[in-house]
Amino acid sequence: MRQIFAFGDSVMKGVVSTLPTDGQQRCSYCVCPQNFVDDCSRRLGVPIVNLSRFGSTIIRGLEQLGRHLHRIAQGDVVVLEFGGNDCNFDWSAVSRDPLADHQPQTVLPLFADAYARAIDLLRNVGARPLLLSLPALDSQLFFEFVSRGLEEERILRWLGGDVDHIGRWHEQYNLQIFKLGASRGVPVIDISTPFLRQPHLADFYCPDGMHPNAAGHRLICQALLDQIASLQTKD
């Protein structure tokens, strides 16, 4: 491989978060020094051009891909990682009115369509798309995070009284990624399973329950290396 391009959201960017201790300040974010993209680049001996952006959805990612398409050459591997922001909600709005009809940032049919268009764009320039699945959410930590400073009971009511509904909703988008891989003949690197195997999922996440911590980045890196080696063997 000459080089690898990476497009995604804050997970691919390597962002980790820290919660304030006084309950008032906003969460702080920084890029993990041991993030999985840099670690994979070093261990593979291949430069990775990481064009991921914090907060990106597949719609924004498609725009980002279009801006940089001229840099991608025949045979380049392009890794895509989207879905975590697409499936998310405006939790302030949920808190204000739990009886309203709230929609995620990107509804599932639009998510699938836009992701398919991203794959087609890459194939049209001769690139080799590779999809990344989503790391499993820690629903309890995530619920506590998004409820900070809001009406927790109202949000829980909207969730049907079940915090784990968050994780199940998130999994719909993850399954869609695997479906796209199967229908379009694109390899999907499974980084979900390494997290699901862990008896204490919270040990691998930042306090927000959605950004993997340094230990989580090590899990992702190893999963990528193992599965890329398997793909190269098949080639």
Domain residue spans in the chain?
A: 4-234
In the chain, the N- to C-terminal Cα span, in Å, equals 12
Res. 71: pLDDT tops 70 = yes
* pLDDT classification of 225: cutoffs 50, 70, 90: very high
What pLDDT sits at residue 143? 96
Mean pLDDT of the chain: 93
Average pLDDT over residues 144-166: 95
Q: What is the pLDDT of residues 41-58, one digit of tens each?
A: 999 999 999 999 999 999
Q: Residue 148: phi, psi to the nearest 5? A: -55, 125
37 touches 14 (CB < 8 A): yes
Confidence bin at 27 (pLDDT 50/70/90): confident
Query: What type of residue sits at position 80?
Result: L
pLDDT of amino acid 2: 80
Residues in the chain: 235
HSE-CB of 70 using CA atoms within 13 angstroms: 1
pLDDT at 1: 60
132 has pLDDT over 60: yes
Position 235 pLDDT exceeds 70: no
Band of pLDDT at residue 218, cut at 50, 70 and 90: very high
pLDDT at 72: 94
Question: What fold does the segment set 4-234 form as a domain?
Answer: Rossmann fold (3.40.50)
Q: Quick check: helix, strand or coil at residue 48?
A: strand
Q: Is residue 234's pLDDT more than 70?
A: no
- Between CA 167 and CA 80, with CA 145 as vertex, the angle to 5 degrees is 55
pTM exceeds 0.85: yes
For 186-208, the pLDDT digits (tens) are 999 999 999 999 999 999 999 99
Mean pLDDT of 133-149: 94
